Amino acid sequence: MTLTILALVWGTFSIVILLAFGEGLRFQMTKANHGLGEGIVILRGDQTSKPFQGLGKGRRIFLIEEDVELLKNRVSGIDLISPESERYGNTMTYGQKSIIQSVIGVYPSFEEMRTYYPDWNSRFLNRLDLEKKRRVIFLGTKVKEKIFGGGQAVGNTVLINNIPFVVVGVMRKKMQNSMYNGPDEEKAAIPFSTYKAIYGVKYLDHLIYRPKDISLAETVKKEVYKVLAIKYKFDPGDRQALRIWDTIEEEKTFRKIFIGFQIFLGIMGGLTLMVAGVGVANIMYVSARRRTREVGIKMALGAKRRYVLLQFVSEALMIAFTGGAIGVAFSLLVVQVTQALNLQGGAADFLAHPVISLGTMVLTAFILGLIGFLAGLFPARRAASLNPVEALRYE
Amino acid sequence: MIKMNNVTKIYGTGDALVEAIKDVSLEIRGNEFISLIGPSGSGKSTLMNIMGCLDAPTSGEYYFEGVRVSKMNHNRLAEIRNEKIGFVFQSFNLLPYATAFENIEIPLIFKGVSARHRKERVTELLDRVNLGRRARHKPSELSGGEIQRVAIARALANNPRLILADEPTGNLDTKSGDELLKIFDTLWRQGSTLVIVTHNPAIAQKTPRLIRLRDGCIEN
């Protein structure tokens, strides 16, 4: 009895914990994926791989700022769009402190697409900054720490290659596990217009857009490809001409992988619980046999068959749910403690934040109920079909 | 009240066939007090089980209050046992984990009596067998005589028409046995029908009617 309850406790505990940590991992991974941006597509010019309209293959495609306007006008499904160019090896100075820092030039819409959210009492670059080519700068979390330490950054002026820039914002801390050219916390952003004026570059490193609706993503992607194919005269079927990083499609795949992962964990936990179920069935079988005489007495006193059935099934359910309740209590405790520890950094960011979802609870209760019912049903049916005289004679 | 026509009960199969009772016909009217005697193996218990609707005859007909029992289904038999028949078993057959109160309550639960009415009825029955103070005791904490009185109180719970007792004094000392017979006598005078299986001639002499079994047949 104690052993079976223990098995039930362990089974329930493992199913809930496995699913909780799996769910937590998925949640954190998704959050970290969204550190790059949610539902965005990142585009850059590459090389044609097919000849088209008399033009040879191996031609490089260079995107320029005008393409942003062009796509915005031609493709109605685009919600936000921004160019991005990056320059490495700048010297950033504040007072006595100097660091080597890369700088990106972007549009204000970059904030929402790439989750460059400002911390308290600061802001991202805005439309006026862009229009007036202001020398303003938005710092990544790490950059701010390097230059200003714990001190105030916003409102102060830093020098970039001896050109003064006013800090207007600092990035709010975020999780990020997918990136290009390094994490966002080590970036410094200035208006694209200012960037172009200072560095005198024409070409974009990336072009980033977000469709109005995720369901439109595929259509928008095709249209973007078509518009650019016409402008740059390449075959719309040439997959090499543009390099596209579609985070929307990536997330779909990611979600599928995790569903598979959760199913796997659920089955593992479920099997453990099933083993416990065999224990319950055994207990009920022994118990029903030992109480044959009791069944006989009750029948002699007028118990109907369904009463006997109900008695044993409900007892098995009681055992199953008692073990289950203790198991759930334990797993809740472990989850609470793990969350209270609030481990940060490295793998802990992903592994130490378990989440118990309603689905997990419903699944666990369902399996426990099924176990109790089946484990009780068979011994109960045997007991209920006894002949009262024989049951009374049973020793 | 009871009518049996050529009732036969056979146990076992093949070579191991045992004819426990053969071709028994008998009639019992309401408010009779009967001893059923005979040596062991004469079929007393089998006859009692059939009378008590615990077992079905292999052949023959059994009418209880004019209703043909031999054709009834399990649920209907359970109802008859519950409402019309009270059993007092030789080995008491109380539930060991339940208190005196709870044991007496069982037939009332199966009848569907409400908790409040059950409490009233059980208290009344406990007083009647002088066990008011022992209500919360389990069988292991009661004496043999007290256990038998709980068993009687349980048998009387639903005011049955027929009380069947299987060797009720077998496990009791003389004093407790006499007390028990007194209770039976009182019940009989109050209008109950009683059938007592015994092989104690002293008891058999005290009942107005005697049925003697030998080798599964009634002796006259």
Q: Give ipTM to 2 decimals.
A: 0.90
The CA distance from A201 to A374, in Å, is 73
Confidence band, pLDDT 50/70/90 cuts, at residue A36: confident
Which of A243-252, A336-345, B193-202 is the least confident region?
A336-345
- Tell me if B95 and A387 make a contact (CB, 8 A cut-off): no
Nearest C-alpha in A relative to B80: A302
Does residue B21 sit within a domain? no
Does residue B117 sit within a domain? yes
Distance from CA of B9 to the nearest CA of A (A): 13
pLDDT digits (tens, 9 = 90+) for A87-138: 999 999 999 999 999 999 999 999 999 999 999 899 999 999 999 999 999 9
Does residue B153 sit within a domain? yes
Pairing of strands B85-88, B67-68: unpaired
pLDDT digits (tens, 9 = 90+) for B156-178: 999 999 999 988 877 677 777 78
The whole-number average pLDDT for the span A187-207 is 94
Query: pLDDT value at position A205?
Result: 94
Question: Within a 10 A sphere around the Cβ of B53, how many other Cβ atoms?
Answer: 26
pLDDT digits (tens, 9 = 90+) for A160-181: 999 999 999 999 998 888 888 8
Instruction: Give the CATH number for residue B185.
Output: 3.40.50.300
Contact A47, A243 (CB under 8 A): no
Helix (H) or strand (E) segment spanning residue A188: strand A188-191
Which of B50, B1, B4, B52 lies closest to B164, judged by CA?
B52
- Tell me if B54 and A305 make a contact (CB, 8 A cut-off): no
Does residue B50 sit within a domain? yes
Which of A272-276, A315-319, B182-186 is the least confident region?
A272-276
Q: What is the DSSP letter of A80?
A: E
Contact A292, B73 (CB under 8 A): no
Tokens of A266: 């659920």
pLDDT digits (tens, 9 = 90+) for B197-211: 987 787 888 889 999
Nearest CB to A300; choose among B74, B75, B87: B87
Contact residues for B103 (Cβ-Cβ < 8 A; gap 6+): B94, B95, B139, B150, B154
Listed by number, the residues of chain A in 307-366 with a beta carbon closer than 8 Å to a beta carbon of chain B are 307
Does residue B2 sit within a domain? no
The CA distance from B150 to B135, in Å, is 9
Domain of residue B143, residue span: 30-56+78-219
| A303 interfacial to chain B (CB closer than 8 Å) | yes
Distance from CA of A295 to the nearest CA of B (A): 10
Q: Is-above-0.80 flag for pTM?
A: no
Q: End-to-end CA distance of chain B: give it in Å, rounded.
A: 21
The CA distance from A141 to B216, in Å, is 101
- Give the rounded percent of residues in chain B with a pLDDT score beyond 90: 57
Confidence band, pLDDT 50/70/90 cuts, at residue A387: confident
Query: 3-state DSSP call for residue B154?
Result: helix
Residue A32 has pLDDT above 90, yes or no: no
The whole-number average pLDDT for the span A293-304 is 91
Residue B99 has pLDDT above 70, yes or no: yes
Contact A319, A4 (CB under 8 A): yes
Residue A46 has pLDDT above 80, yes or no: yes
Tokens of A195: 């960037």
The CA distance from A283 to A2, in Å, is 10
Give how many domains chain B has, as a whole number. Answer: 1
Query: 3-state DSSP call for residue B181?
Result: helix
Burial A109-142 (b: 16+ CB within 10 A, else e): bbbbbbbbebbeebbbbeeebbeebbbbbbbbbb
Does residue B134 sit within a domain? yes
Does residue B17 sit within a domain? no
Query: pLDDT value at position B171?
Result: 66
Share the mean pLDDT of chain A.
89
Tokens of A319: 């055992």
User: Rounded to whole angstroms, what are the CA distances from A13 to A329, A369, B130?
Assistant: 8, 16, 53
Which of B55, B122, B114 lies closest to B85, judged by CA?
B55
Does residue B73 sit within a domain? no
Which of A100, A84, A71 lies closest to A36, judged by CA?
A84
Residues of A in contact with B74 (CB under 8 A): 304-305
Nearest C-alpha in A relative to B48: A389
- Tell me if A307 and B82 make a contact (CB, 8 A cut-off): no
Nearest C-alpha in B relative to A291: B95
Residue A264 has pLDDT above 70, yes or no: yes
Query: pLDDT value at position B13?
Result: 77
The CA distance from A326 to B46, in Å, is 49
pLDDT digits (tens, 9 = 90+) for B100-136: 999 999 999 999 999 999 999 999 999 988 899 999 9
- Tell me if B83 and A302 make a contact (CB, 8 A cut-off): yes
Q: What is the DSSP letter of A185?
A: G
Query: pLDDT value at position A171?
Result: 95
Tokens of B190: 């109050």
Nearest C-alpha in A relative to B86: A301
- Tell me if B110 and A300 make a contact (CB, 8 A cut-off): no
The whole-number average pLDDT for the span A65-92 is 94
- Tell me if B75 and A304 make a contact (CB, 8 A cut-off): yes
Residues of A in contact with B158 (CB under 8 A): 302
